[in-house]
Amino acid sequence: MCYYRGIEKEQRMSKNRRRPHRGRREKKKKAGMLSNIILIVALAVFCVSAFQLVKIVGGYAKGRDEYKKIQSIAINKEDSEPEKGFSVDFDELKGINPDTVGWIRFYPEPSMINYPIVQTTDNEKYLHKTFSENDNTLGTIFLNADNNANFNDRNSIIYGHRMKDGSMFRKLDEYKDKSFWEANPYFYIYTPDGREIVYHIYSAATVKDTDDVYLTGFENDEAYQSYLDMTKRIAIYDTGVEVTTADSVVTLSTCTSASDEHRFVVIGVKEQENQMGQTKN
């Protein structure tokens, strides 16, 4: 009997000794399940991210292809140099989009900036629509709704996205380097009435989206002079380009990596206007 009880006691002790092993197995099982769940979630996140990346890259490609097609339709290919008769077919452009008010290009660089300009009463319209009004993150280069479409305001503002693929106004970043400005100090705007307006860049700066650099109207010459002084004062480097109240300027504005509230601007003063073979300074 004592022997039997001894066996019972030993069995109970043996069971007690085995219990921790079952607990460890359960913990390992739970850990394995957790690892599987984490792996599944990670794979799901990867798949979603990959899909979004493909979608973004595909959107960039579609947008670039559309603008290349527009360039091939609108630009006179006989000679690409501004001084040798570069011209734009605005009848073709307006047939595609009646909101067309101009064309902007840099020569020789950054040559990627070579786009039509549109304008509406709503600055939001073309933020995510291409020139052909297709939904796309590239958007369209557009003139501020408050400006006159003839680019004769004292300060005309043109907006464009800073795209990761280098398109739209991304290449304005190059003007953070003074040596790049020295090699490429001009940009050109073409208008439906046959004008080619040459702008000499005199300021490049990082600003807040609420700064006075975005003013378009001025009460008098004194207020405008104060504005011009400010745009030169905030410049990253001194260009030495003279600007007076008799001049008009164009501000090119794009986003910056600094923050959502900051913008990068490149400002040019009208230096020359050409029309029908004639030159006006």
Let me know whether 109 and 53 are in one domain: no
Task: List, in sequence order, every residue forming a beta bridge with 206; answer none if it has no partner.
Answer: 264
Q: Report the pLDDT value the prediction gives residue 43, as an integer from 0 to 100.
A: 63
Model-wide pTM > 0.95: no
Let me know whether 192 and 127 are in one domain: yes
Let me know whether 90 and 35 are in one domain: no
- Check pLDDT > 60 for residue 79: no
Let me know whether 101 and 60 are in one domain: no
Let me know whether 220 and 207 are in one domain: yes
Predicted confidence band at 86 (pLDDT cuts at 50, 70, 90)? Answer: confident
Q: Say which CATH number the domain at 126 has.
A: 2.40.260.10
- Check pLDDT > 80 for residue 84: no
Number of domains in the chain: 2
Given the residues 2, 128, 200, 255, the one annotated as active site:
255
Q: Report the pLDDT value the prediction gives residue 4, as an integer from 0 to 100.
A: 40
Among 35, 51, 74, the domain-final residue is: 74
Q: Report the pLDDT value the prediction gives residue 278, as an integer from 0 to 100.
A: 46
Task: Based on the residue annotation, tell me whether 47 is a catalytic residue of this protein.
Answer: no
Given the residues 2, 47, 161, 200, the one annotated as active site:
161
Task: List, in sequence order, every residue forming a beta bridge with 274; answer none if it has no partner.
Answer: 196, 279
Tens of pLDDT, residue by residue over 111-154, are: 999 999 999 999 999 999 999 999 999 999 999 999 999 999 99
Tens of pLDDT, residue by residue over 155-181, are: 999 999 999 888 999 999 999 999 999
Among 58, 74, 90, the domain-final residue is: 74
Tens of pLDDT, residue by residue over 2-25, are: 434 444 545 555 555 555 556 666
Question: What does the chain come to in residues?
Answer: 281
Let me know whether 29 and 154 are in one domain: no
What dihedral do alpha carbons 256, 260, 261, 263 form, nearest 10°? 20
Q: Report the pLDDT value the prediction gives residue 1, as an integer from 0 to 100.
A: 43
Among 45, 74, 103, the domain-final residue is: 74
- Check pLDDT > 50 for residue 102: yes
Which SS3 state, helix, strand or coil, does residue 73 take? helix
Let me know whether 49 and 171 are in one domain: no
What dihedral do alpha carbons 131, 137, 142, 145 form, nearest 10°? 110
Let me know whether 173 and 253 are in one domain: yes
Q: How far apart are CA 204 and CA 181, in angstroms?
A: 9
For β-strands 155-159 and 249-255, DSSP reports them as: parallel
Q: What is the DSSP letter of 215?
A: -
Q: Between residues 246 and 37, which one has the greater pLDDT? A: 246
Let me know whether 64 and 134 are in one domain: no
Q: Which residues 6+ apart lie within 8 Å of 268 measured at CB?
A: 186, 187, 199, 200, 201, 202, 249, 250, 252
Task: Based on the residue annotation, tell me whether 21 is a catalytic residue of this protein.
Answer: no
User: Percent of the chain at pLDDT above 70?
Assistant: 74
Q: Report the pLDDT value the prediction gives residue 5, as an integer from 0 to 100.
A: 45
Tens of pLDDT, residue by residue over 197-239, are: 999 999 999 999 999 999 999 999 999 999 999 999 999 999 9
- Check pLDDT > 80 for residue 95: yes
Let me know whether 68 and 96 are in one domain: no
Domain range for 125 = 77-280
Output the average pLDDT for the chain.
84
Q: Report the pLDDT value the prediction gives residue 277, as an integer from 0 to 100.
A: 45
Task: List, in sequence order, every residue forming a beta bridge with 142; answer none if it has no partner.
Answer: 118, 159
Q: Report the pLDDT value the prediction gives residue 168, as an integer from 0 to 100.
A: 93
Let me know whether 141 and 261 are in one domain: yes
Cβ atoms < 10 Å from Cβ of 113: 21
Let me know whether 227 and 110 are in one domain: yes
Q: Give the containing element (helix H, strand E) for 189.
A: strand 186-190
- Check pLDDT > 60 for residue 56: no
Q: Report the pLDDT value the prediction gives residue 6, as an integer from 0 to 100.
A: 46
Q: From residue 253, how far is each of 68, 143, 183, 204, 207 by CA, in Å? A: 22, 10, 21, 10, 10
Q: Which residues 6+ apart lie within 8 Å of 227 measured at CB?
A: 155, 212, 215, 218
- Given a contact cutoff of 8 angstroms between Cβ atoms, the answer to whether 161 and 243 are in contact is no
Q: Report the pLDDT value the prediction gives residue 2, as an integer from 0 to 100.
A: 41
